[in-house]
Structure 1
Amino acid sequence: MLEAVAETARAPSGGTSCYLSVENLQAWYGDSHVLHGMSFNVQKGEVVTLLGRNGAGKTTTMKSIIGLIQKRTGSIYFDGRELIKLPPRAVARAGIGFCPEERGIYSSLSVRENLLLPPTISDGGFTTGQVLDLFPNLRERLQTVGTKLSGGEQQMLAIGRILRTGAKMLLLDEPTEGLAPVIVQQIGRIITLLKQRGYTILLVEQNFHFASSVADRHYVVELGRIVDMFRNEELDANQEKLKRYLGV
């Protein structure tokens, strides 16, 4: 099965080149070997999820792509450029924005200051006004410091901050974690809207039902490697297999 999944990662449908291509990615925390040959791809304009139990290696994959894991080998191509040896600042300037699970909001800065802090890396990003139109909750909180924002507001701010930079691919790690259902629905609508606007999104999610509502394809991660891939329209026919993989 692993060989078939790897072949899918190398040969995307339609014969087009991959926007993001990860091949045989290995990663370590110190002496602990965490990723064992991750191979997958994401096409331009797709929303793709990494699904799996806690500790499977999903977040480590995200951090390896953005360059936060120093000890890594393999290949990470983004928009035709090899990233594996680049530091995080260079990966970000190549057009990838990372929203970590902890959101990374500067607690002592206001919403406005958090939004304006990252540099613009390319044309075509959201203006501050467009970010506030997308997340109207933030408009009323512009002078509020990060420590006084709700979890949902912090998530909106973390995503909006990336959109303002001009990044064209978003890495979202557990964007619905700990959020109220109404906020989860709002995040889902935002992801759908960004896809319609041409953004490419790689999503780590524990909430399988949320993932299935927004994504085109789903990779299953176990023990630091891809073990299966499902297109969204194939999920109903593979419920039993998914339950075994995810325990849902």
Structure 2
Amino acid sequence: MAEAQLLERTPATAGGSLLAVRDLHGWYGESHVLHGISFDVHEGEVVTLLGRNGAGKTTTLKAIMGILGKRRGSIVFDGRETISLPARVIARAGIAFCPEERGIFASLSVEENLMLPPKVRDGGLSVEQIFELFPNLKERLSSQGTKLSGGEQQMLAIGRILRTGAKLLLLDEPTEGLAPVIVQQIGHTIARLKRSGFTIVLVEQNFRFAASVADRHYVVEQGRVIDTIRNDELESNIDKLHAYLGV
């Protein structure tokens, strides 16, 4: 079947969600990691997946992106069922993944890393718009990936996927190991992207950072969503959240 045919719309979207995940199971080899996770993301939202290490948050992002070896269930993006599609087709549908390890090519310059992913759809940011978000990148344009700080690598990893035209961004632990001033900059960037119409699913251990950018929080435990907390309900649920996260 041609890839264009694979991307035909399903008869109806799930409640108008941009992304609807239903009864999603996923495996690493023989290890069953996702046990029927279900959640929705509406267009223009920032949603976080919160949970302890090993809960299945990163695996969920990989399953959505089509880079998990074995998965079963339903993932409907923009009215299209994607569960059986390869990652290259999912990317062209408008989903981009920024992994925790960032994936910066050490031997390439900032400019080469930035221009590496192909543009898959209209609507991506121009290079100048990316430099406006991350001025450090313009200053380090000729520097090799090995010469960048952790914060600069994270800026480059996010900036790189903004060029592609993806409308759904999957960000895995974007603040991990970064200095507070860089964490604050990443937060401002996510807020600006939301105002520009991007939809974001964010895996984050730092729930105080998550609270500063997100609309809703899904709590993940043992490969399932066990609770949903709106951001305006966070303070009243703080003890419960501490119990969930073990903090």
TM, length-normalised to structure 2: 0.93
- Amino acid in structure 2 at the alignment position of 1:164: R
Q: CA RMSD in A?
A: 1.2
C-alpha distance in structure 2 between counterparts of 1:218 and 1:68, whole Å = 24
| Aligned 8 A contact 2:46 2:214 in 1 | yes
Does residue 204 of the first structure (1) align with residue 197 of the second (2)? Answer: no
Aligned twin of 1:173: 172
Deviation by residue 1:110-144 (Cα, 9 ceiling, x = unmatched):
00001111111111211111111110000010000
Aligned twin of 2:39: 40
C-alpha distance in structure 2 between counterparts of 1:88 and 1:122, whole Å = 15
C-alpha distance in structure 1 between counterparts of 2:165 and 2:120, whole Å = 6
- Amino acid in structure 2 at the alignment position of 1:169: L
Aligned twin of 2:102: 103
C-alpha distance in structure 1 between counterparts of 2:79 and 2:69, whole Å = 22
Aligned twin of 1:93: 92
Aligned twin of 2:132: 133
C-alpha distance in structure 2 between counterparts of 1:101 and 1:141, whole Å = 22
Deviation by residue 1:128-167 (Cα, 9 ceiling, x = unmatched):
1111111000001000011110010000001100011111
Aligned twin of 1:8: none
C-alpha distance in structure 2 between counterparts of 1:128 and 1:242, whole Å = 39
**Aligned with 1:165: secondary structure?**
coil
| Aligned 8 A contact 2:27 2:68 in 1 | yes
Deviation by residue 1:216-242 (Cα, 9 ceiling, x = unmatched):
000000000000000000111111111
C-alpha distance in structure 2 between counterparts of 1:134 and 1:68, whole Å = 28
C-alpha distance in structure 1 between counterparts of 2:72 and 2:123, whole Å = 32
C-alpha distance in structure 2 between counterparts of 1:193 and 1:16, whole Å = 26
C-alpha distance in structure 2 between counterparts of 1:64 and 1:142, whole Å = 33
Aligned twin of 1:185: 184
What is the deviation of 1:16? Answer: 5.2
What is the deviation of 1:70? Answer: 1.8
| Aligned 8 A contact 2:58 2:203 in 1 | yes
- Amino acid in structure 2 at the alignment position of 1:150: S
Aligned twin of 2:193: 194
Aligned twin of 1:121: 120
C-alpha distance in structure 2 between counterparts of 1:90 and 1:40, whole Å = 22
**Aligned with 1:172: secondary structure?**
strand
C-alpha distance in structure 1 between counterparts of 2:203 and 2:80, whole Å = 23
Deviation by residue 1:60-85 (Cα, 9 ceiling, x = unmatched):
00000001112100000000011101
**Aligned with 2:227: secondary structure?**
strand
- Amino acid in structure 2 at the alignment position of 1:159: I
- Amino acid in structure 1 at the alignment position of 2:166: A
Stretch of structure 1 that moved more, 103-112 or 15-24:
15-24
* Superposition map of 1:215-230 within 5 A: 215-230=214-229
Aligned twin of 1:12: none
C-alpha distance in structure 2 between counterparts of 1:125 and 1:237, whole Å = 38
C-alpha distance in structure 1 between counterparts of 2:95 and 2:67, whole Å = 13
Structure 2 spans left out of the alignment, 5+ residues: 1-13
Aligned twin of 1:142: 141
- Amino acid in structure 1 at the alignment position of 2:208: H
Aligned twin of 1:75: 74
Q: Would the alpha carbon gap of residues 85 and 16 (structure 1) be closer, same or farther in structure 2, given more than 3 Å must change?
A: closer
**Aligned with 2:100: secondary structure?**
coil
C-alpha distance in structure 1 between counterparts of 2:128 and 2:112, whole Å = 14
Stretch of structure 1 that moved more, 134-143 or 123-132:
123-132
Aligned twin of 1:9: none
Structure 1 spans left out of the alignment, 5+ residues: 1-14
**Aligned with 1:102: secondary structure?**
coil
- Amino acid in structure 1 at the alignment position of 2:146: T
Aligned twin of 2:28: 29
